[in-house]
Amino acid sequence: MKQKLIIELSEQATANYLKWLEPVHQHCAEANCEFPGFSLQLDILPSIEELVYGKQGDKLTELGEVKLKMVEFQESVLSSMSELSRV
């Protein structure tokens, strides 16, 4: 079986993420321009916590905690799911 890493933002990190993006999203909507994009940085510190940061330009903003989960899956199930998404 193959493995897949799932990165899940906490409720607070998700709220922070949406709040962090809101001004840029609002500006783009008002200016009728394309959203510039951004980066997410994940820091994994053994025995402490996993944190996610948002980055635009040189500014790094801590968004909050994330949960990491390793799951096993069968490739045939994943292939079936990707075929359904193309329909």
Whether the CB-CB separation of 6 and 23 falls below 8 Å is answered with no
Q: Higher-confidence residue: 10 or 79?
A: 10
**Mean of per-residue pLDDT scores for the chain:** 82
Q: What pLDDT does 11 receive?
A: 95
pLDDT digits (tens, 9 = 90+) for 4-15: 889 999 999 999
Which strands make up the sheet holding 2-9, listed edge to edge? 2-9, 59-73, 49-56, 39-45
pLDDT of 63 reads 92
Report whether pLDDT(34) > 90. Answer: no
Predicted confidence (pLDDT) per residue in 35-57, tens digit: 777 888 888 877 677 889 988 87
Domain encompassing residue 62: 2-85
Threshold 0.75, pTM exceeds: no
User: Which tokens go with 70?
Assistant: 């390793």
Domain count for the chain, please give it. 1
Tokens coding 51: 């944190």
Q: Please give the pLDDT value at position 13.
A: 93
